[in-house]
Amino acid sequence: MDNHIAAVELEKAYRLLNHGPTVLVSAEHDGVDNVMAAAWSCALDFAPPKVTVVLDKATKTRELVEHSGCFVLQVPNAAQLALTQAVGSSSLSAAPDKLQQAGVHLFRMDDYRLPFVSGCSAWLACRLIPELHNQQTYDLFIGEVVAAWADTRVFRNGHWDFEHAGPQWRSLHYIAGGQYYAIGEALHARDGKPD
């Protein structure tokens, strides 16, 4: 495991998604790994920490999540822009070598059989909380975060530190049609009063 990857306390796991980044969703079932990009995900609860993510019925990743009952949300960064666009624009069903073509390198964390995407800024291992009505009607999946990690070069002491990390570490925020924004500068409100 990369020596820059450190565990994040579950009580602070929501902070990894609270700023609304595009995420990579990965899952594995029966020896098949896949990764897709998702713009619609968010933190849902604190204790235990929960997340939501929209997984379209047409995606192979959704099928893997439904069969395995677990998935990983990871926060890609500006250095992974092309990778993020590639895994969000092609299907494993149509392109069996999708991950190789996109330059995805997977690794495993101790005690977790899940596929984790190398080079990301954060990873949340999740157990699916089955809510069949939400899944079938709204494509909305809920996961309980069972473990979380972040790269200490951009997340430390329970907080993002984008302002001190290089621009390649900025999180991606999808708009439409292949357009993304990277997270901007930090602004601080003090005691609810303008500076």
Question: Residue 41 is part of which domain span?
Answer: 5-182
The predicted structure's pLDDT at residue 3:
87
24 CB contacts (<8 Å, ≥6 apart)? 35, 36, 37, 38, 73, 74, 75, 76, 84, 87, 117, 120
Query: Is the distance from CB of 87 to CB of 174 less than 8 angstroms?
Result: no
Rounded distance between C-alpha atoms, residue 29 and residue 183, angstroms:
33
Residues 32-43 pLDDT 10s: 999 999 999 999
Query: Which pLDDT score is estimated for 186?
Result: 87
Q: What is the CATH number of the domain that holds 136?
A: 2.30.110.10
| 126, part of any domain | yes
Tens of pLDDT, residue by residue over 80-130, are 999 999 999 998 888 899 999 999 999 999 889 899 999 999 999 999 999
Q: What percent of the chain has pLDDT over 90?
A: 88
Q: How many structural domains are present in the chain?
A: 1
Please write the tens of the pLDDT for every residue from 17-64: 999 999 999 999 999 999 999 999 999 999 999 999 999 999 999 999
Model confidence at 192, in pLDDT bands (50, 70, 90)?
Answer: low
The answer to the question of residue 110 being in a domain is yes
In a domain, 187, yes or no: no
Is residue 30 included in any domain, yes or no?
A: yes
On the question of pLDDT at 191 being above 70, the answer is no
Q: Is residue 109 part of a domain?
A: yes
Confirm if 148 and 123 have CB atoms less than 8 A apart. yes
pLDDT for the residue numbered 193? 61
